[in-house]
Amino acid sequence: MSEIELSAVEARVLGALVEKSITTPQYYPMTPNAIMAACNQKSCRYPVMALSEGEVGRALNALQAQRLVDREDSRSRAPKWRQQMRSQLLLKGPTQAVLVTLLLRGPQTPAELLRNAEALGGPGDREALLAALEDLADRAQPLVREWPRGAGQKEARWVALLGGEPEAPAPAPARTVSESAAATSAAASRLDALEARIARLEARLAELEGGG
């Protein structure tokens, strides 16, 4: 199939549909309202969104055009939708779990992915996880990539690319020598003031005890 380009809303809708098809199959396929609620969850989502029914509906139509979801013909008043991500992207179950976890939760380290993808049938160990990430990255259209390890981070993170190339978070600005010196001086001044206060209190206490 042609290269996939999803908006952030479309990526969230697709990820939520796949997640719920696995974790709550009794409520699947899903109505647009149910999909909207899944997209707007406060837990297990980054970033947290507040999508409207109209936004979800437009995303579903766009995903259907790319054959990633399909509307189910039924007699119910509200239409219901199914995801077709695994068959369209030729994904194994554990590999799909890794990709969906990245779509829903944002950039994550391998350790975080291993833990967070478990509920979706993710890889059972680190070796299998790395194999899944390699499968997703080594494609004509890479679906994930590794971010360089940031300052103070022990592990590099992985990010999904279905919604386009994300921007790496800007590193915290480094302090200049003068700023560091000023911060050190301020901390020393606060410590001196605290020590002087303690000394005054101790002297006062000794005076009261002596007078008693």
* Residues 161-201: tens digit of each pLDDT: 997 766 655 444 444 555 555 555 666 667 777 777 787 77
Verify that 97 and 77 share a domain, yes or no. Answer: no
Coil, helix or strand at residue 123: coil
Do 112 and 156 belong to one domain? Answer: yes
Domain co-membership, 140 together with 184: no
Q: Are residues 122 and 181 in the same domain?
A: no
On whether both 96 and 158 belong to a single domain, the answer is: yes
* Torsion 67-73-74-78 (CA) sign: positive
117 shares a domain with 196: no
Q: What is the pLDDT of residue 173?
A: 47
173: exposed, middle or buried (Cβ count in 10 Å: 0-12, 13-18, 19+): exposed
Residues spanned by the domain of 115: 92-165
User: DSSP 3-state assignment of 140?
Assistant: coil
Q: Which residues of the chain have pLDDT under 50?
A: 170-175
User: How many whole angstroms separate alpha carbon 115 and alpha carbon 105?
Assistant: 12
The pLDDT, as a whole number, for residue 20 is: 98
Tokens of 39: 């997209």
Whether residue 120 is found in the same domain as residue 85: no
Structural domain contains residue 172: no
How far is 165 from 179, CA to CA, in rounded Å?
35
pLDDT of residue 181: 58
